[in-house]
Structures are given as structure tokens and as C-alpha cells.
């Protein structure tokens, strides 16, 4: 017996746009999820193909397929790189609307709130996308269509009751682990740079020569979800593990959709004060604002900071 084809009424209007994808793969070279997992199914191109398959009935809707559709950091680097002009983010949002109506809610990269929530409503007030609300009898409810996975709610929660289930290496614990690992694995390691996912993301290298893994690196770029998620512990960890300095890269003030630069500036200022109180040069931590995808400016800021740090030498 043939099952009835599922209707995706919000996705239907994108049928022509979905067909424009030429499968070139430029999008996945910039996707933070693909960079972390290296699975094609996590890349924008694959999600475009899945959306087309769901619309035509060639792909069966399963919880696993739905989960892929709820996983996105909304950096839109895929759209900027798309040679066919496919509006991948808008397509995924309409697919989410359909999935929610069909009873699927992810969560994917959508933030969720634990039962231990104190109901202080700080996350509701802080969410720049109006994705969180308090519902009597249910607690804090998150709209999986409005949530853009910036993680500001995660950092503002006083009892750590909010998480993003699939962080793809951008959560605080993973960033701290990778910072410590880099600083202790190479004698040349000096600086950790926390780079905002929306502001800058290093290009991918699909192939490497074996000897490239042994290259002496003086700095490591760790991609954060948003400048607003950088907390004091994340800034302090490198200094506690023999780092010479920390560089923080965020969006320009008028380009951030999550109010991240303002929060990052306050935390970097506080860390400068902490370093100064310990008789450590506060210039060892520095914040730069970089427009989306401006690799040349980012590299210039890194080079300038590294020159300054090398002149200072290690912390004694």
C-alpha cells in the first residue's frame, strides 16, 4: 500500500530555488558544522538536497532527517559563497516551519532549557530573536524557528540550565579543551584567538601533507558561536596554561544580530583589569572587530598582535 505524500506547504514556494543548486560544493567549504564533523550530510549542499527530496517525496521524513534541518548557526557563509544564489537559510527556516507543524522539534542546535530552570526569565529578556517565552505550566518554551543558535541564553543563565545539544565544537568546554591541548602540545604555542563564527571562519583544507601536521604554530584560531558567548573563564584559561596572549575577534557593532560585540568588549575590559591587578601587561589581551569574511584584515590583526606579543615575551 502506497503511503500518502507529506505536504510541505511552506517549503513548496522554494521548489524552483532548490533546483538552482548545481552541487558545486562551495557552500560546505565555509560551513562550521562540516568543518567540525567532515560529514557531507552536515553541509548546506546536503541539506538542500534533503529538502528537495522531502518536497518531491524521494526522501522519507525521519527523526534523523528532521534533526539535520534543525542544525544551523545562521552565519550565512554558505549563501555568500553560493554561485547559484540559493537562499539556503530561508529554505531551512521554511522547512523548519513545516516540520514543527508535523510534530518535529529538533532540537539540533536550538537551545533547550532543563527542568532545573529557576524561571528568572533572564534568557527571555536577553534573547535578541524573541525565541524564548515563559508559558504557564510549561516553563520556558523555545521557538525552534526563531532561535538562531547564538547561545547568548546559554551564557546568561545563572544556574547553567540552558544548553545547545549539538554544539559542533563551539561550546565552552570544547573550546577550553582545545585551547589547553594546543598550548601544551607545541613548544611554539603562544596565542589563542577566539574568532566569532559570523565574523570570520578559517578556510578549510581538504588535504594535507603529513609533514604539515608537524608545523610549528604560534597561534591557534578557535571558532566561537558569538562574541557574546565569550566568558571570563574562557579568556582566563589560556593564561593559566602558559599562553603569552589572547586575541578576541568579533563582528563590527552594526553587523552583529546578537548584540555580541558589546558583551565581548565588557568581558575583555574586565580581563584587562584582572591582568593589571596581577601586574601583567593588560595589552596581552586584545579585541578586534572584523567584518564577515574579511580574511585579509583578520590576518593583518593577527600579525600585528603576534608582533606585539613576541616583543613582550612570555609572562614571568
User: How are beta strands 112-113 and 162-163 bridged, if at all?
Assistant: antiparallel
Q: Model confidence over 261-301: pLDDT tens digits?
A: 888 999 999 999 999 999 999 999 999 998 877 888 888 99
Q: Model confidence over 185-199: pLDDT tens digits?
A: 988 999 999 988 766
CA–CA dist 174, 198 (Å, integer) = 19
Q: Model confidence over 158-217: pLDDT tens digits?
A: 998 999 988 888 888 899 999 999 999 988 999 999 988 766 655 544 444 454 555 678
CA dihedral sign, ordered 276, 278, 284, 285 = negative
pLDDT interval class at 121 (50, 70, 90): very high
SS3 267: helix
CA–CA dist 141, 55 (Å, integer) = 29
SS3 291: coil
| Entry pTM | 0.78
> Hey, what domains does the chain have and what are their CATH numbers?
12-101 (1.10.1060.10), 112-163 (3.30.70.20), 172-312 (3.40.50)
**Residue 203: its pLDDT value, please?**
52
**Residue 213: its pLDDT value, please?**
52
CA–CA dist 73, 185 (Å, integer) = 30
Amino acid at each position: 500500500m502506497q503511503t500518502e505524500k507529506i505536504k510541505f506547504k511552506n517549503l513548496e514556494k522554494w521548489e524552483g530555488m532548490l533546483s538552482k543548486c548545481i552541487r558545486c560544493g562551495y557552500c560546505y567549504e565555509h560551513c562550521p558544522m562540516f568543518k567540525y564533523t567532515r560529514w557531507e550530510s552536515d553541509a548546506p549542499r546536503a541539506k538542500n538536497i534533503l529538502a528537495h527530496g522531502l518536497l518531491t517525496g524521494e526522501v522519507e521524513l525521519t527523526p534523523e532527517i528532521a534533526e539535520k534541518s534543525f542544525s544551523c548557526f545562521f552565519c550565512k557563509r554558505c549563501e555568500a559563497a553560493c554561485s547559484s544564489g540559493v537562499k539556503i537559510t530561508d529554505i531551512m527556516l521554511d522547512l523548519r516551519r513545516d516540520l514543527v507543524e508535523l510534530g518535529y522539534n529538533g532540537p539540533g542546535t536550538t537551545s533547550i532549557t532543563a527542568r532545573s530552570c529557576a524561571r528568572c526569565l533572564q534568557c527571555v529578556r536577553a534573547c535578541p530573536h524573541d525565541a524564548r517565552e515563559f508559558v504557564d505550566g510549561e516553563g520556558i518554551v523555545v521557538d525552534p524557528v526563531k532561535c538562531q543558535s547564538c547561545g547568548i541564553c546559554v551564557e546568561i543563565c545563572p544556574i547553567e540550565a540552558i544548553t545547545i545539544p549539538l554544539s559542533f565544537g563551539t561550546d565552552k568546554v570544547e573550546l577550553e579543551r582545545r585551547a589547553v591541548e594546543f598550548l601544551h602540545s607545541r613548544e611554539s604555542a603562544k596565542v589563542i584567538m577566539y574568532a566569532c563564527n559570523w565574523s570570520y571562519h578559517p578556510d578549510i583544507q581538504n588535504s594535507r601533507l603529513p609533514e604539515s601536521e608537524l608545523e610549528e604554530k604560534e597561534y591557534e584560531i578557535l571558532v566561537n558561536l558569538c562574541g557574546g558567548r565569550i566568558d571570563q573563564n574562557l579568556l582566563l584559561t589560556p593564561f593559566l596554561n602558559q599562553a603569552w596572549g589572547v586575541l578576541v575577534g568579533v563582528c563590527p557593532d552594526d553587523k552583529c544580530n546578537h548584540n555580541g560585540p558589546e558583551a565581548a568588549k565588557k568581558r575583555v575590559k574586565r580581563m584587562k583589569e584582572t591582568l593589571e591587578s596581577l601586574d601583567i601587561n593588560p595589552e596581552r589581551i586584545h579585541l578586534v572587530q572584523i567584518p564577515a569574511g574579511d580574511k585579509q584584515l583578520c590576518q593583518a590583526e593577527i600579525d600585528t598582535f603576534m608582533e606585539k606579543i613576541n616583543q613582550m615575551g612570555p609572562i614571568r
